[in-house]
Chain A
């Protein structure tokens, strides 16, 4: 396959680390495995790691102590891995996590799975018992490489200190190239102490690892032809656009062609949401007009999107009249769910650049008019009457007050969907959310990671009363490092999304979804020395947000909202996209 197979380091335009590596190519010192690890991390440009110590990583922490790498101590390993994930999503640089063996390692599992589902490059370094103790159910031994087979892009167990440097290099290479993803390095205690020669960069030897960046010309021409032939095209932009940094090319294509663009949740911000061609999010809780457009189009061009079931609903009625062009860096995604008329494996930026060179715009204005009419007739809406505070209103106000550079993280549930609907983002990497795994508890630690990676950015975490409790211990980390994140709890006293499903599909039998018993979030913030406020009505929203933005440190706002509000529109699971409830 074209330009793969040469195991050069990552194209430096993405990571900017090429030069660093050259300077590091010093030869020949004898160092301990842990020292080599730290040097290799530095050579990869790592300046920050997230972690939690323990017996099996003692030697590694001792080396960190001597280095100038910044270590962020979380309060649970899951906080560390989500933070590294948020860091990576916001900065585009791989996030690094360190945890001890056994429970430290297993506590990473959810976070690794989360990064895997959303293709986020993270490197997890776990301590392991000494090699001679491996396989004997030793104290704090867990077979973490075995456990994580289904949820990592690749994993290593270091069995020779001479391999530390090459393992680190390969790990970063694999995590950040092709379709990015998590890589785990399991590092036995004795390997940290044993000495070996340090040379960097070492040889890469990865005959089994290939990816294709340069697309097939023929396919590009075909795609251009289909575009020219079509009369009702739609582009669906996914997270892959952000990963590839192809937002400029996407905008270019959209504007030159006048094709409307819907995004997946992961694709939010890859096209400015205030742009007239942007239809917002499609899918289960997408805008009616995006779903109508997709259901009526005759050509659907999916860019870095994977036809997830939350997007397509029932697959056989998804875009039923459309021919499909599917572009993705991962060939295994092509044809996995929906067979495409044209499948293009490659780097999205290159694909779009090539396509822009090939294609002749046609006139889609009639189609556009139709789509715009849908938009006018079916806007996102909610009932603004009544005295209670509406969650949508809160989120709309948050969106209004955020400047363009602010970065939003969310948790999982109704508030996430409202955030996806109402928070407008104009740049990629500014809406950070758990898409594929839907991990409650992601929002707060991810916001910490974002803030660490982007110290000057305004970071806003929109969370639910259920989700925040999953990793609320991380409030101590926020306080510890004075990370000035703003936390908005959309507090409905319910596992709201569960309650909504129970209301709609289980005869309103609310089995175990009521969590109204507390805690008192204002007092909780107070226990951490974090400024905390409560808002219970419409008029309180604006002043509270202004105050939060004016405050230097972290702030937590408890928005006590209407308890039984539902997220609409909604396509029931297994239904067709154009059959939405609550419209």
Chain B
């Protein structure tokens, strides 16, 4: 008895342990939808394909498994592009299946034909157009292998309709056989020994930890290392949660909107230990002024990252978990009290400051939210000022509890990602922190949340403005504000029309009671905080300056 390609796909997914897919149907993916009937894989129907891919990405970040989505050919596939690019920039494992027109029509500009494998070359780790149904089991296996190993990332599998309808005789292979793909995990022993020596000799070390720490599950090892050698730790935006921010050695985030003390520490350190980072321009600011006194160590799973943006004194290619395990065998206790005193003094004297508490401040709301959730909620954000305030003020302590679009900075990511996160962690409180601009990009997914019964909280900072752009215009365009003022819907009515709860905060005194109510009401809720569009994110490091040349908050500005 033969089964179709679509049925084979579903069977392979089941065997790979996939229990949830996100998608949206359409003509050329219909055979797969039909095959899903009777499978125990749960399918979540979104309202726009971009929502599916962001949700799959949120799910992947929370569970560590590959997120899976389905879309039809043509517009269904192109609607995934931003989400795929977002996942690619942040190394999130996804396997994306798109329908395609029948193979004989490929290349004829047929109805709903788009060359999605061509389009996604720059934004996928790899992709496939399956032309023969008997290749399908192998391709599926390879796709998951590639997505989830080495430096993880998205893989697209394009499935022509005749392929998913044809009878498949091949069986899934036992092993993946890819002669061009052999990720390297074990760090080079000599280099690790060199690193141990360098750490032993360092007098002003700083650990600079990125998303790689979280992706490789190395946060406990990072903590052991930091404590043993008394090195302060700063994280990138993607690394937030990789080191507990309530730890004395934590300096919070560095970079363009980093804490003053993290930025100063990086500029003054003599050894900078980069772990699972990529020296992104949002982190380094002007790269020629970055960490000018430091020997730079770079540990990463992806050899191509090493030496890409900065010259590295000590490169190590490998999986962080393995490298740190080896390293910890070699390093001994150390102390740098003087250095730590200096850093702690900066932290005392130049904290993250913001305006007076008599009006509603987003920073205050976020700090309060941190307290009320004991810093243990899963927080997703969109992109803009609210994203930076969240990174600065919530106080993250757990890896995988902060989900944000770092590399691509995609507005609209936060809410669908929260839906995926909630599905991946059904018992955890999930909060999407968003702005009025960002939320509108995918607010239609409210219908998905209601349909799936997901009690996600949407903490919406409404400044009636594309705040971050307005802030840039404030600093760099002489306050000529254009195309940033928003005419918005009434978000309370919007909540109502989807059958969600709507709560509004206008005064500081309302913060605690309203947040408490929302946290406990067990349903999808929009919490709208009305804030001023003049509120700015501080500090700011202009892109052409060194990290120490921050513009910090003062009462005058």
A touches B (Cβ under 8 A): yes
Interface residues of A (CB under 8 A from B): 51-55, 58, 61-62, 64-65, 71, 73, 75-76, 102-103, 106-107, 109-110, 113-114, 117, 129, 133, 136-140, 142-143, 146-151, 306, 308-310, 336-337, 412, 434, 436-441, 466, 469-473, 475-476, 479-480, 495, 498, 501-502, 505-506, 509, 511-513, 515, 517-524, 526-529, 573
> B82 → chain A, closest Cβ, in Å?
4
CB nearest to A470 among chain B residues: B48
> A442 → chain B, closest Cβ, in Å?
8
Asked whether B309 lies within 8 Å of A136 as measured between CB atoms, the reply is yes
Among the stretches B313-321, B421-429, B466-474, the one at the interface with A is B466-474
Chain B residues near A117 (CB-CB < 8 A): 109
Q: A109-B81, A437-B114, A511-B43 are in contact. List 4 more A-B contacts (CB 8 A).
A: A138-B280, A475-B489, A502-B34, A511-B36
Q: A142-B85, A143-B122 are contacts. A61–B411 as well, Cβ < 8 Å?
A: no
Interface residues of B (CB under 8 A from A): 23, 25-27, 30, 33-34, 36-37, 43, 45, 47-48, 74-75, 78-79, 81-82, 85-86, 89, 101, 105, 108-112, 114-115, 118-123, 278, 280-282, 308-309, 383, 405, 407-412, 437, 440-444, 446-447, 450-451, 466, 468-469, 472-473, 476-477, 480, 482-484, 486-491, 493-494, 496-499
Asked whether A151 lies within 8 Å of B114 as measured between CB atoms, the reply is yes
Chain A residues near B466 (CB-CB < 8 A): 53
> A522 → chain B, closest Cβ, in Å?
8
Provide a sorted-by-A list of 28 A–B residue pairs whose CB atoms are within 8 angstroms.
A61-B482, A62-B473, A65-B477, A76-B440, A76-B441, A103-B85, A103-B383, A106-B408, A109-B78, A110-B78, A110-B79, A117-B109, A133-B281, A139-B280, A139-B409, A140-B409, A308-B111, A439-B74, A469-B447, A470-B444, A473-B440, A476-B487, A480-B486, A502-B34, A505-B30, A511-B25, A518-B447, A524-B494
Asked whether A480 lies within 8 Å of B487 as measured between CB atoms, the reply is yes
Q: How far is it, in angstroms, between the C-alpha of A150 and the C-alpha of B496 when the chains are bound?
A: 42
Chain A residues near B497 (CB-CB < 8 A): 518-524, 526-527
Q: Which of A58, A76, A150, A437 contacts B412, CB < 8 Å?
A: A76
Chain A residues near B121 (CB-CB < 8 A): 146
Asked whether A102 lies within 8 Å of B85 as measured between CB atoms, the reply is yes
Asked whether A512 lies within 8 Å of B447 as measured between CB atoms, the reply is no
Q: How far is it, in angstroms, between the C-alpha of A337 and the C-alpha of B34 when the chains are bound?
A: 30
Q: Which of B75, B280, B408, B441 contacts A114, CB < 8 Å?
A: B75
Chain A residues near B26 (CB-CB < 8 A): 498
Asked whether A437 lies within 8 Å of B74 as measured between CB atoms, the reply is yes
Number of A-B contacts (CB under 8 A): 241
Asked whether A64 lies within 8 Å of B482 as measured between CB atoms, the reply is yes
Chain B residues near A526 (CB-CB < 8 A): 490, 493, 497
Q: How far is it, in angstroms, between the C-alpha of A522 and the C-alpha of B497 when the chains are bound?
A: 8
> B72 → chain A, closest Cβ, in Å?
9
Asked whether A517 lies within 8 Å of B25 as measured between CB atoms, the reply is no
Q: How far is it, in angstroms, between the C-alpha of A125 and the C-alpha of B463 when the chains are bound?
A: 28
Q: How far is it, in angstroms, between the C-alpha of A61 and the C-alpha of B485 when the chains are bound?
A: 13
Asked whether A113 lies within 8 Å of B75 as measured between CB atoms, the reply is yes
Q: Which of A76, A110, A518 contacts B498, CB < 8 Å?
A: A518
CB nearest to A442 among chain B residues: B75
Chain A residues near B482 (CB-CB < 8 A): 53, 61-62, 64-65, 71
Q: How far is it, in angstroms, between the C-alpha of A520 and the C-alpha of B411 when the chains are bound?
A: 26
Chain A residues near B282 (CB-CB < 8 A): 139
Q: How far is it, in angstroms, between the C-alpha of A54 and the C-alpha of B470 when the chains are bound?
A: 9
> A314 → chain B, closest Cβ, in Å?
11
Asked whether A523 lies within 8 Å of B112 as measured between CB atoms, the reply is no
Chain B residues near A573 (CB-CB < 8 A): 27
> B25 → chain A, closest Cβ, in Å?
5
Q: How far is it, in angstroms, between the C-alpha of A143 and the C-alpha of B442 when the chains are bound?
A: 24
Q: How far is it, in angstroms, between the C-alpha of A567 and the C-alpha of B376 when the chains are bound?
A: 52
Q: How far is it, in angstroms, between the C-alpha of A470 and the C-alpha of B445 when the chains are bound?
A: 9
Q: How far is it, in angstroms, between the C-alpha of A113 and the C-alpha of B76 when the chains are bound?
A: 11
Q: How far is it, in angstroms, between the C-alpha of A179 and the C-alpha of B524 when the chains are bound?
A: 49
> A412 → chain B, closest Cβ, in Å?
8
Q: How far is it, in angstroms, between the C-alpha of A71 and the C-alpha of B484 when the chains are bound?
A: 11
CB nearest to A149 among chain B residues: B118
Chain A residues near B118 (CB-CB < 8 A): 149-150
Q: How far is it, in angstroms, between the C-alpha of A148 and the C-alpha of B115 when the chains are bound?
A: 10
Chain A residues near B476 (CB-CB < 8 A): 58
Chain A residues near B486 (CB-CB < 8 A): 73, 476, 480
Chain A residues near B85 (CB-CB < 8 A): 102-103, 106, 142
Asked whether B34 lies within 8 Å of A517 as measured between CB atoms, the reply is no
Chain B residues near A76 (CB-CB < 8 A): 412, 440-441
CB nearest to B280 among chain A residues: A139
> A440 → chain B, closest Cβ, in Å?
7
Q: A117-B109, A310-B111 are contacts. A109–B119 as well, Cβ < 8 Å?
A: yes
Chain B residues near A149 (CB-CB < 8 A): 118-119
Asked whether B440 lies within 8 Å of A437 as measured between CB atoms, the reply is no
> A511 → chain B, closest Cβ, in Å?
4
CB nearest to A129 among chain B residues: B281
